[in-house]
Amino acid sequence: MGEEREAEHIRQISDFAVSFGIFVKDRSPEEIEAGLARELERRGLPYLWIADDVPSGMEREALHKWLAPHPSGKTLITTRTREYNALGTLIPLGVLAPEEAYELLTLRRKPAGKTEEDAARMLTEDLGYHALAVDVAGALLDAKKGLESFAEFRKKLVDTQRDELEYASKLKEILPTGHEKSIASTLLRSIRQLEPEGLDFLRLASVLAVAPIPASLVSAVFSKADNLDEEAGKHRAMFAFDQVENLSLAEGSDEESGAKTVHTLVSRTVRFHETMPDRIDLIQAAAVSVLTDGLSVIADGRIHSELKLEVAHARQLVNRGDDIPTANITGWLAGYDHLYGAYRSAEMLLRRELDIRNRILGDVHPHTLRTMNNIAETLRAQGDLASAHKLNEQVLEIKRKILGDEHPDTLMTMNNLAEMLSDQGDLAVARKLEEQVLEKRRRILGDEHPDTSLSAWNLVVTLLHIGDAAEAMEILSKHLLWLLSRDPATLEANQQKIREMIIESIPKK
């Protein structure tokens, strides 16, 4: 299972668990999945578990992770390969039956007379009864009502243009044998009917994932790309949706978010047909910027489930660029995976971010060092303490030389190194570092700063592990008990968590 698919699998399992009321905070992916299986067993109800678009070449152990977590469920796998046929009952999904194709083609516009009906039936055969092509042709015929008959439409379809022939040659492997020319012609001719708004929407879809695209994302990208105000961006998105839906080049997939889905074949056609590469580059850059702003809220775990579509599109974009904006969105995506426990994926993303920053900014730039620090934290989460320790010491040495001993970034790295030493059992050295960080943060940031609170709590934990309970209580009393007198809503997230842990540690009467 690739790192990106593994991260997506972990996220979906976590979302399912939360929907069942299962506590997932600070639990490993394995613990969350086991909890979900127990809950499904407790409920004892049958369910259908759908694993969509499973890739080819998966090992049995990796594939098993995609199956229903408890025997009370049945698994439905959709895939384009036949190598998993032996796992269960095969339900082949081919092209439409001739009569189904005819009904779809004539859904919007009925043929006038026997000649037109015959032309319509021959047109569905020309299109190989391919559902998307037939639907798009039907929409285009409806748009040409009173201007072009079924027979005339079919005649023009046969007269394939040079670019349509070239595109058809690229579709041979995925389209019904012998019908790729007519399908390519239908798609290209429909796309040529679009106004600039509709074309821009399909350009956006062509650089994003094959997943629903929220209307809010489209309008924000339009505003960013052309420096429009919010209302103008929304109006442009509305015009775009109207155009692509009328020609069956996209369809609504969620009424609440207004999300639209574009078939992968349409996106592929747009990429081939693109005559304004600078325009698609501008739209892609706008999408990266908008999604980066959206993902910057990932520190708040309460809204993770709201970002699943944005995350899917961000994963697609990180593979399309190698500039600083791409590095930024890659880093936020890594943070998202880290918080979900997909540490291997987070590490791979962070190393990609580091490659970009090293090449463009250099190896001593603060942003490069921050990425190195994040890699160390991800290595630590995976249990590779030796590698994490080495990387943290490397980062700390550079920060001390460039930023000085009291810079907030230097103190953050000292804090991370102390936590690493504590994990490795070197509690005495960890204590010394934590005392240094606490003293400097108190002096520079103040007693009530969230970073100061974190340093005080880390030192309390280390002192308790050493066995110095008296010193731990003194630190707690001097630097942390004030949290109990505050409204939790006025505290930062880490201070809220520390406050909860203090309350939990107080003996109940």
Q: Cα(477)–Cα(176) distance, rounded to whole angstroms?
A: 74
Greater model confidence, 39 or 167: 39
Residue 381 CA to residue 388 CA, distance in Å, equals 9
In this predicted structure, the answer to whether residue 417 has a pLDDT above a threshold of 50 is: yes
Q: Which of 100-104, 256-260, 294-298 has the highest mean pLDDT?
A: 100-104
The pLDDT of 304-324, averaged and rounded, is 85
- What is d(CA 454, CA 441) in angstroms, rounded to the nearest whole number? 10
Q: The tokens of 272 are what?
A: 């081939």
Residues 62, 63, 69, 71: is their CA dihedral positive or negative? negative
Task: Evaluate whether 387 touches 375 at the Cβ level (below 8 Å).
Answer: no
Position with higher pLDDT, 60 vs 252:
252
Alpha helices in 59-127 (DSSP H): 60-64, 98-105, 114-126
Residue appearing with tokens 């463009």: 360
Which structure tokens are listed for 271? 């990429």
Instruction: List beta partners, residue 254.
Output: 259
**Choice among 239-243, 260-264, 431-435, 456-460 with the minimum mean pLDDT:** 260-264
Residue-level pLDDT at 460: 93
Q: Give mean pLDDT, residues 488-497.
A: 89
- The pLDDT of 388-397, averaged and rounded, is 92
Indicate the burial class of 159 (C-beta count within 10 angstroms; 0-12, 13-18, 19 or more).
exposed
How many residues in the chain? 509
Q: Is the four-CA dihedral 22, 28, 29, 35 of positive or negative sign?
A: negative
* Cα 452 → chain centroid: 33
Residue 299 has pLDDT above 60, yes or no: no
In this prediction, residues 318-330 reach a mean pLDDT of: 93
End-to-end CA separation in angstroms for the chain: 50
* Res 489 pLDDT > 70: yes
Distance CA 68, CA 72 (A): 8
Angstrom distance (rounded) from CA 442 to CA 461: 18
Report phi then psi at 276, rounded to 5.
-130, 75
Stretch 343-355: mean pLDDT: 93
Over range 417-430, report the average pLDDT.
Answer: 89
Q: d(Cα 306, Cα 18) in Å, to the nearest integer?
A: 13
Q: What tokens appear for 164 in the block? A: 């349509």
Cβ neighbours for 203, distance < 8 A, ≥ 6 positions apart: 270, 274, 279, 280, 283
Closest CA to 190 of 240, 248, 274: 248
Check residue 448 and give its pLDDT: 92
Do 68 and 74 touch, CB atoms closer than 8 A?
yes
Overall average pLDDT of the 361-388 stretch: 92
DSSP letter string, 255-321: TTTTEEE--HHHHHHHHHH-S-HHHHHHHHHHHHHHHHHHHTTTT-GGGGGGGHHHHHHHHHHTTT-
At 95 the pLDDT is 72
Q: What is the pLDDT of residue 50?
A: 87
* Residue pLDDT, tens place only, 160-213: 555 544 555 555 555 555 555 667 777 788 888 899 999 999 999 999 988 899
Q: Give dist(CA 470, CA 492) in Å, integer.
A: 28
300-313 pLDDT, tens digit each: 554 556 778 888 89
Residue 284 has pLDDT above 50, yes or no: yes
| Lowest mean pLDDT segment, chosen from 246-255, 345-354, 464-473 | 246-255
Please tell me the distance from the alpha carbon of residue 34 to that of residue 20, in angstroms, as a whole number: 13
Q: Which residues contact 107 (CB under 8 A, 6 or more apart)?
A: 138
Average pLDDT, the chain: 85
Helix (H) or strand (E) holding 358, with range, is: helix 343-361
Question: What pLDDT is attached to residue 165?
Answer: 45
Q: Does the pLDDT value for residue 141 go beyond 70? A: yes
Token readout for 140 is 């285009």
Name which of 71-85, 153-167, 239-253 the model is least confident about.
Answer: 153-167
List the domains of the chain with CATH numbers: 3-87 (no CATH), 98-191 (no CATH), 196-288 (no CATH), 331-425 (1.25.40.10), 431-509 (no CATH)
pLDDT at 68: 87
Q: What is residue 274's predicted lDDT score, i.e. its pLDDT?
A: 74
Nearest to 311 by CA among 1, 2, 11, 30: 11
- What sections of 114-214 are H helices per DSSP? 114-126, 131-143, 150-158, 162-170, 180-191, 196-207
Which of 273, 271, 266 minimizes the C-alpha distance to 245?
266
Q: Are 202 and 276 in contact (CB under 8 A)?
A: no
Is the CB of residue 127 less than 8 Å from the CB of residue 134? yes
Distance CA 333, CA 346 (A): 8
- Give 382-431 as a DSSP string: TT-HHHHHHHHHHHHHHHHHHT-TTSHHHHHHHHHHHHHHHHTT-HHHHH
Residue with tokens 């934290």: 377
Specify the amino acid at residue 382.
Answer: Q
Contact status, residue 198 vs residue 281, Cβ threshold 8 Å: no
CA gap 212, 281 in Å, rounded: 21
- The model carries a pTM of 0.72
Instruction: In whole angstroms, give the CA distance from residue 502 to residue 463.
Output: 15
**Residue 228 tokens, joined:** 């429009």
